[in-house]
Amino acid sequence: MSDDEPVRYSVENGVAKITIDRPERKNALSVEAMNGLTTAWERVERDSRARVVILTSADCGVFSAGLDLRQAAEIRARDGVDILTLMRDPMQTAMRAVSKPIIAAMTGSLMAGGMLLALKSDLRIGLRGTRAGITEVKMGRGSPWAVPLLWMLPQPVLMELVLTGETMPIERLAEHGFVNYLEETPDAVRARALQLAHMIAEGAPLSVRAAKASVLAAMDLGCEKGLVEANSLHVETYASLDAVEGPRAFAEKRKPVWQSQ
């Protein structure tokens, strides 16, 4: 790992893998790491080889400790500016704009920016015995990015997270549906993420893309307007050759051959 290249990117069998590689700093999000992630989101959106994304990090017991506070203090002392001003996309809005499904393989605890990355993912696999939290109030920072959690967690649980800054067992978040699966080891977390990724990659690309976009649109617009937007998002899907190939392959008892990308 190099601090000049703290994010790794690879693609295999339709699955892009984005890895935060700063284990010696608990995978904390430095300026270089955050900008590397932004570049990775832009890259995966353009990459025709990638149908689904797994976001993970180097094993160190922590998926991501959030903002690199040591670097933040150094930048403030040296340049007199906040660390966020040096990041291309400090709230990782480019991540939410990725049209391909993102699976977070969380092989350790997560807090602050680590939670930001988790909630912007579409599926989440956690490691039993780890903890998660939104710790900004303990550091004098903020968590405006936490608003979408209102659609993922009960409001009192979210209030506890943002107001106390304390972490809670990942098992508690799983009970509320924030985590899709909990596994016993980091390798099992990655294996489950890969299993899900392969299932998604086998689906019709236009159908998968429209399904994700529809759910996110409903979060933004509400049910009535969300349904209208979802119908609009699926027009291309229903008009595609894949909409013919799927039923045909089912009737012929064979695996479909998708034409779209």
Q: What digits encode the pLDDT tens for the residues 226-253?
A: 888 887 888 888 788 887 888 788 788 8
Overall average pLDDT of the 69-80 stretch: 91
Q: What digits encode the pLDDT tens for the residues 191-215?
A: 999 999 999 999 999 999 999 999 9
Q: Which residues contact 153 (CB under 8 A, 6 or more apart)?
A: 161, 173, 176, 178
Q: Say what percent of the chain tops pLDDT 70.
A: 98
Given this model, what pLDDT does residue 226 score? 80
Tell me the HSE value of 236 on the side-chain side, using a 13 A CA sphere: 14
Q: What digits encode the pLDDT tens for the residues 16-30?
A: 999 999 999 999 999
Is pTM beyond 0.85? Reply is: yes
- Determine the Cα–Cα distance for residues 16 and 100; give it in Å rounded to an integer: 10
Given this model, what pLDDT does residue 230 score? 82
Q: What digits encode the pLDDT tens for the residues 106-140?
A: 999 999 999 999 999 999 999 999 999 999 988 88
Given this model, what pLDDT does residue 53 score? 98
pLDDT band, residue 162 (cuts 50/70/90): very high
Given this model, what pLDDT does residue 20 score? 96
For residue 81 the two structure tokens come to 């500016």
Beta bridge partner(s), residue 67? 29
Burial class from Cβ neighbours inside 10 Å (0-12, 13-18, 19+) for residue 61 reads middle
Domains and CATH numbers, the chain: 7-201 (3.90.226.10), 205-251 (no CATH)
3-state secondary structure the chain: CECCECEEEEEECCEEEEEECCHHHCCCECHHHHHHHHHHHHHHHHCCCCCEEEEEECCCCEEECCECHHHHHHHHHHHCCCHHHHCCCCCCHHHHCCCCCEEEECCCEEECHHHHHHHCCCEEEEECCCEEECCHHHCCCCCHHHHHHHHCCCHHHHHHHHHHCCCEEHHHHHHCCCCCEEECCHHHHHHHHHHHHHHHHCCCHHHHHHHHHHHHHHHHHCHHHHHHHHHHHCHHHHCCCHHHHHHHHHHCCCCCCCCCC
Overall average pLDDT of the 136-149 stretch: 88
pLDDT value at 260 more than 80: yes
Given this model, what pLDDT does residue 104 score? 98
- Between strands 123-127 and 52-57, the pairing is unpaired
Given this model, what pLDDT does residue 233 score? 82
Category of 56 on φ-ψ map: left (φ > 0), alpha (ψ -120 to 50) or beta: beta
pLDDT value at 170 more than 90: yes
Overall average pLDDT of the 36-40 stretch: 96
pLDDT value at 39 more than 90: yes
pLDDT band, residue 3 (cuts 50/70/90): low
Given this model, what pLDDT does residue 1 score? 44
Given this model, what pLDDT does residue 4 score? 67
pLDDT value at 2 more than 60: no
- Determine the Cα–Cα distance for residues 171 and 130; give it in Å rounded to an integer: 8
